[in-house]
Structure 1
């Protein structure tokens, strides 16, 4: 085996930590795997008696007992095979489940910047493909490795027992095999990392194509997407082919070394038999044992591929698990905030962009008031709400909730103070009931769910669904219309009953009838709550207590709808353009 670097040793050590809950099953798998190989070694060793006593001396009694011996050996071999397969399979799948659960839990605690820097395909590929590599290495690679190592030890022991001269031949070829495995391991690990990246690309292109199939069909983008998938899949194919070539070369070299060793065995055996130092049966055992080494040596070479893939996969997973969680240094607990919000001298830029997207933002939202943010795309409206929800750390400046910096609050308590309804509603492939009573409201009574559904103007259409509240909405609510999805989201926000409400383009993608129903529901939702509204349609925010017009990250105008119209500034121009349209 190749020398293991410190980082790889640490990876092995950390992976072994996941064995702890399954250690006795793992030990059982190793023992039964060793017994499986012991049966094979016993069968090989028995060849001496078969040749010398059965065929040379023609011992009838032994020959008649031989079928019984074989039956017993095969039954034991089958039993140990099942026990080893089951034990290692259970351990491998258990470890895979544990790592997957840990990784999923970690994803939920990582900051928004982590997801901004990665594609969905990369994240999903790590969760599926990379974790699968680790499970396979335990259930298949380690199982076979244990069996083959014990078979090699047993076979070498037999060779030395019958003829130390023949045993020395193995040690001539052993270093050569080790050198081949060492060189191959380095190459396998390098290719494995590239293979993970190409698999992420395949997953990403596939995910985009399936999610955007309406756009693809509408704009006749089938050929373009096919080309994108071909490039991703072909890159993966090339890496797979490099893996196959490396594996084939290493296994072929191992076979060649084994073949030369066998030739040496025959040459030396001829002299030993002629001098009477080795019986025909002893020669058969040595030759069979040496021949039996060929397969496990090849298997170890093949398992080396899987193990190196698992090491590379584990390192990529541990790199994620070791990332710091979303910052939460707050110590102040809050049951229900009043909802007084203030932004002070706030400037911000995203980690991937040094250009500030907000510059010296100042404004105060008193408890129970509604403030609207308007402006062109990219002016910083959504960034303000992202910072308010602590998706990103506040840089120069402060955001206060009820007179305290938002970073002083415990994060879990802090986010309970907010409800969000956005243009891009997130619904889960679950029932209407569970999409309304989501998260902290999962135990809400049916009466309360129906009450908020009525307030959100959603109960009428929910009653007409095939199973009512228990109807499955489909992936992201595909079984519902846009207006219906929005009203489900509003019902969810009503059920949460948070003191602060954020509306992010909540009606921008709706037709007039749906917008009327949703706007009525929003008016009910906004009552007695501090509300921050992001909108392009100025008609939806005319009743706001204050309207802030943003341009290139700065507030350039502020006032009521009528005050801003009277100023005859940029807001008035926007309003005139929309009214004319």
Structure 2
């Protein structure tokens, strides 16, 4: 009997509300979120094909941030006239980068009457790169949203099925507004948390690393100076994130109270 009670005690989960999250520190929140996030990510397995497509598009979208910086620098190098006192040299947009360091573009010799159209054509490559990056970002978000909706349907179905199996005593003591909020709002937040977490750990790190690689390649001194200033910018972000968690906790508590009042 004691072993059975211990097992039941281990299985029993503590409910963490938005108000509890608002009062947690960042380390406490990360420790408390490990278990729930693992269970949420388990719902992604049936849709791993579409999820993998979203991951690939997210990686490509993140890499395109660095490519966009190189493209803008190359456009300025091509459009701006070279120094007349120096010999005309080929353009090497990837100089200093491994594998592509020998890639070069010959500076075109454009007649004076066609230089305006040449500049316009070269400058249009920047919006084209932005369009490609936007398309990759759209495909990434579409795949993640598609997976998130399927997870949402599954969570709501399991939650609603679990409610139907409860006894009459449970419904006599439970607040109907909180049950409605659990079925509709909290399942939606849980499904979006899984896809948003995957996006945050895939797309954003790739974007940061690609931009840093290009910046170190272009201006290593200024980039190192930015590393000195950047940690100072983290402090207000941490403070604001705590305020956001507190506001989210109050919103969840107020929404539950409103739904309980409306139902009664």
Match of 1:14 among 39, 43, 46: 39
Match of 2:154 among 81, 98, 121: 98
Tell whether the 8 Å contact from 1:2 to 1:183 is kept in structure 2 after alignment. Answer: no
2:3 match: none
1:135 match: 191
1:77 match: 133
C-alpha separation in 2, matches of 1:13 and 1:110:
26
**After superposition, where does 1:279-298 map in structure 2 within 5 Å?**
none
Question: How far 1:26 moved relative to its partner?
Answer: 1.9
C-alpha separation in 1, matches of 2:131 and 2:232:
37
Question: How far 1:129 moved relative to its partner?
Answer: 1.4
Paired residue total: 208
Backbone CA RMSD of aligned residues: 3.1
2:60 match: 35
C-alpha separation in 2, matches of 1:27 and 1:197:
36
Tell whether the 8 Å contact from 2:71 to 2:126 is kept in structure 1 after alignment. Answer: no
C-alpha separation in 1, matches of 2:251 and 2:48:
31
With normalisation by structure 2, the TM-score equals 0.66
2:180 match: 124
Partner SS for 1:167: helix
Match of 2:226 among 153, 170, 185: 170
C-alpha separation in 2, matches of 1:98 and 1:127:
11
Tell whether the 8 Å contact from 1:122 to 1:197 is kept in structure 2 after alignment. Answer: no
Question: How far 1:11 moved relative to its partner?
Answer: 1.8
Question: How far 1:97 moved relative to its partner?
Answer: 1.1
Instruction: Say if 1:180 and 1:200 are closer, same or farther in 2 by CA, change over 3 A.
Output: same
Instruction: Say if 1:26 and 1:181 are closer, same or farther in 2 by CA, change over 3 A.
Output: farther
C-alpha separation in 2, matches of 1:87 and 1:191:
30
With normalisation by structure 1, the TM-score equals 0.32
Higher strand share: 1
Instruction: Say if 1:70 and 1:185 are closer, same or farther in 2 by CA, change over 3 A.
Output: closer
Partner SS for 2:174: coil
Q: Which deviations, in whole Å up to 9, do the C-alpha atoms of 1:32-86 show, x marking residues without a partner?
A: 1221232332122222222233213295567475256346524533431332122
C-alpha separation in 1, matches of 2:226 and 2:165:
54
Instruction: Say if 1:201 and 1:10 are closer, same or farther in 2 by CA, change over 3 A.
Output: same
C-alpha separation in 1, matches of 2:240 and 2:41:
23
Partner SS for 1:57: coil
Match of 1:115 among 171, 188, 194: 171
**After superposition, where does 1:47-446 map in structure 2 within 5 Å?**
47-57=72-82, 59-60=107-108, 63=119, 66=122, 69-70=125-126, 72-138=128-194, 143=199, 146-208=202-264
Instruction: Say if 1:12 and 1:184 are closer, same or farther in 2 by CA, change over 3 A.
Output: farther
Larger RCO of the pair (alpha carbons < 8 Å, separation 6+): 2
Tell whether the 8 Å contact from 1:91 to 1:139 is kept in structure 2 after alignment. Answer: yes
1:269 match: none
2:12 match: none
C-alpha separation in 1, matches of 2:234 and 2:61:
25
